[in-house]
Amino acid sequence: MANNACTAQYVDHVGIAVRDIEAAMKSFQEAFQIPPGVIEVLADQGVRATLLPIGQTRLELLEPLSPESAVGRFIERRGEGLHHLALHVENVAESLTSLSAAGLELVDKEPRPGLSGTIAFVHPRSVHGILTELVQSL
Protein backbone atom coordinates (compact mmCIF):
# COMPACT_ATOMS: atom_id res chain seq x y z
CA MET A 1 0.00 0.00 0.00
CA ALA A 2 1.57 3.27 -1.11
CA ASN A 3 2.24 6.05 1.43
CA ASN A 4 0.59 4.08 4.24
CA ALA A 5 -2.84 5.10 2.91
CA CYS A 6 -6.11 3.28 2.41
CA THR A 7 -6.76 3.50 -1.33
CA ALA A 8 -10.29 2.71 -2.46
CA GLN A 9 -10.21 1.15 -5.93
CA TYR A 10 -13.94 1.26 -6.71
CA VAL A 11 -17.39 0.95 -5.15
CA ASP A 12 -17.74 -2.78 -4.52
CA HIS A 13 -21.39 -2.65 -3.49
CA VAL A 14 -24.14 -0.68 -1.81
CA GLY A 15 -25.86 -2.43 1.09
CA ILE A 16 -29.63 -2.06 1.36
CA ALA A 17 -31.58 -3.18 4.44
CA VAL A 18 -34.90 -4.81 3.51
CA ARG A 19 -37.69 -6.56 5.38
CA ASP A 20 -38.30 -9.22 2.68
CA ILE A 21 -35.32 -10.15 0.53
CA GLU A 22 -37.33 -12.11 -2.07
CA ALA A 23 -39.77 -9.21 -2.60
CA ALA A 24 -36.93 -6.68 -2.77
CA MET A 25 -35.00 -8.77 -5.29
CA LYS A 26 -38.13 -9.11 -7.42
CA SER A 27 -38.68 -5.33 -7.30
CA PHE A 28 -35.14 -4.60 -8.49
CA GLN A 29 -35.47 -7.24 -11.24
CA GLU A 30 -38.76 -5.83 -12.52
CA ALA A 31 -37.90 -2.13 -12.23
CA PHE A 32 -34.27 -2.18 -13.40
CA GLN A 33 -33.76 -5.55 -15.17
CA ILE A 34 -31.14 -6.54 -12.59
CA PRO A 35 -30.35 -10.28 -12.62
CA PRO A 36 -31.27 -12.24 -9.48
CA GLY A 37 -28.70 -13.32 -6.94
CA VAL A 38 -28.27 -16.34 -4.71
CA ILE A 39 -29.57 -15.78 -1.19
CA GLU A 40 -27.21 -16.90 1.58
CA VAL A 41 -27.67 -17.03 5.34
CA LEU A 42 -24.88 -15.26 7.23
CA ALA A 43 -25.73 -16.36 10.75
CA ASP A 44 -22.73 -14.59 12.30
CA GLN A 45 -24.02 -11.29 10.87
CA GLY A 46 -27.67 -12.06 11.57
CA VAL A 47 -28.85 -11.67 7.97
CA ARG A 48 -29.97 -13.37 4.79
CA ALA A 49 -28.12 -11.62 1.99
CA THR A 50 -27.66 -11.58 -1.75
CA LEU A 51 -25.51 -9.66 -4.22
CA LEU A 52 -27.20 -8.36 -7.38
CA PRO A 53 -24.73 -7.47 -10.16
CA ILE A 54 -24.87 -4.08 -11.88
CA GLY A 55 -21.78 -3.69 -14.07
CA GLN A 56 -18.65 -3.64 -11.90
CA THR A 57 -20.60 -2.94 -8.72
CA ARG A 58 -23.43 -4.74 -6.95
CA LEU A 59 -26.42 -4.16 -4.71
CA GLU A 60 -26.34 -6.19 -1.51
CA LEU A 61 -29.78 -6.86 -0.10
CA LEU A 62 -29.81 -7.59 3.65
CA GLU A 63 -32.79 -9.10 5.46
CA PRO A 64 -32.45 -9.45 9.23
CA LEU A 65 -32.79 -12.91 10.77
CA SER A 66 -34.22 -11.29 13.91
CA PRO A 67 -35.27 -7.83 15.13
CA GLU A 68 -32.29 -7.91 17.53
CA SER A 69 -29.67 -8.20 14.77
CA ALA A 70 -27.79 -5.08 13.65
CA VAL A 71 -29.83 -4.88 10.43
CA GLY A 72 -33.04 -5.61 12.36
CA ARG A 73 -32.32 -2.69 14.71
CA PHE A 74 -31.43 -0.50 11.72
CA ILE A 75 -34.80 -1.19 10.05
CA GLU A 76 -36.64 -0.63 13.34
CA ARG A 77 -34.98 2.80 13.80
CA ARG A 78 -34.78 4.00 10.19
CA GLY A 79 -36.89 1.73 8.03
CA GLU A 80 -35.71 0.01 4.88
CA GLY A 81 -33.02 1.70 2.83
CA LEU A 82 -29.35 2.44 2.37
CA HIS A 83 -27.40 0.59 5.05
CA HIS A 84 -23.75 0.89 4.00
CA LEU A 85 -21.29 1.74 1.24
CA ALA A 86 -18.62 -0.86 0.45
CA LEU A 87 -15.29 0.17 -1.05
CA HIS A 88 -12.94 -2.32 -2.67
CA VAL A 89 -9.39 -2.16 -1.32
CA GLU A 90 -6.30 -4.21 -2.09
CA ASN A 91 -5.68 -5.29 1.51
CA VAL A 92 -8.26 -4.90 4.30
CA ALA A 93 -5.77 -5.51 7.13
CA GLU A 94 -3.38 -2.82 5.89
CA SER A 95 -6.30 -0.46 5.28
CA LEU A 96 -7.50 -0.91 8.87
CA THR A 97 -4.01 -0.13 10.17
CA SER A 98 -3.83 3.02 8.03
CA LEU A 99 -7.29 4.24 8.97
CA SER A 100 -6.72 3.59 12.68
CA ALA A 101 -3.40 5.49 12.52
CA ALA A 102 -5.28 8.36 10.86
CA GLY A 103 -7.66 8.46 13.83
CA LEU A 104 -10.75 6.89 12.27
CA GLU A 105 -13.02 4.82 14.51
CA LEU A 106 -13.25 1.21 13.40
CA VAL A 107 -16.13 -1.19 13.96
CA ASP A 108 -13.84 -4.14 13.17
CA LYS A 109 -10.26 -4.20 14.46
CA GLU A 110 -9.48 -7.27 12.35
CA PRO A 111 -10.69 -8.42 8.90
CA ARG A 112 -13.36 -11.12 8.82
CA PRO A 113 -15.10 -13.22 6.16
CA GLY A 114 -18.15 -11.70 4.46
CA LEU A 115 -20.45 -12.36 1.53
CA SER A 116 -18.28 -10.35 -0.86
CA GLY A 117 -14.82 -11.40 0.39
CA THR A 118 -12.67 -10.34 3.33
CA ILE A 119 -14.36 -7.39 5.02
CA ALA A 120 -14.20 -4.85 7.85
CA PHE A 121 -16.34 -1.87 8.78
CA VAL A 122 -15.46 1.74 9.60
CA HIS A 123 -17.80 3.49 12.05
CA PRO A 124 -20.21 6.05 10.53
CA ARG A 125 -18.96 8.72 12.99
CA SER A 126 -15.66 8.72 11.10
CA VAL A 127 -17.14 8.81 7.58
CA HIS A 128 -19.75 11.58 7.59
CA GLY A 129 -22.56 9.36 8.86
CA ILE A 130 -22.00 6.51 6.38
CA LEU A 131 -21.29 2.99 7.62
CA THR A 132 -18.39 2.09 5.33
CA GLU A 133 -17.29 -1.45 4.55
CA LEU A 134 -13.86 -2.30 3.20
CA VAL A 135 -13.83 -5.32 0.86
CA GLN A 136 -10.93 -7.40 -0.38
CA SER A 137 -11.92 -9.91 -3.05
CA LEU A 138 -11.21 -13.58 -2.37
pLDDT single digits (tens) 2-19: 456 789 999 999 999 999
91 falls within a domain: yes
CATH number of the structural domain spanning residue 53: 3.10.180.10
Residue 118 located in a structural domain: yes
> Has residue 3 been placed in a domain?
no
The pTM of this model reads 0.92
Alpha-carbon distances of 57 from 51, 106, 135, rounded to whole Å: 9, 24, 12
pLDDT in tens, 104-121: 999 999 999 999 999 999
Asked if residue 24 is part of any domain, the answer here is: yes
Chain mean pLDDT for the chain: 95
Does residue 59 sit within a domain?
Answer: yes
- For residue 70, the enclosing domain spans 8-136
Helices (H), 1-138: 21-32, 70-78, 92-101
pLDDT above 90: percentage of residues in the chain: 93
Q: Is residue 2 part of a domain?
A: no
Is residue 39 a part of any domain in this protein?
Answer: yes
Looking at residue 4, its pLDDT comes to 61
Domain-located, residue 1: no
How many independent structural domains does the chain possess? Answer: 1
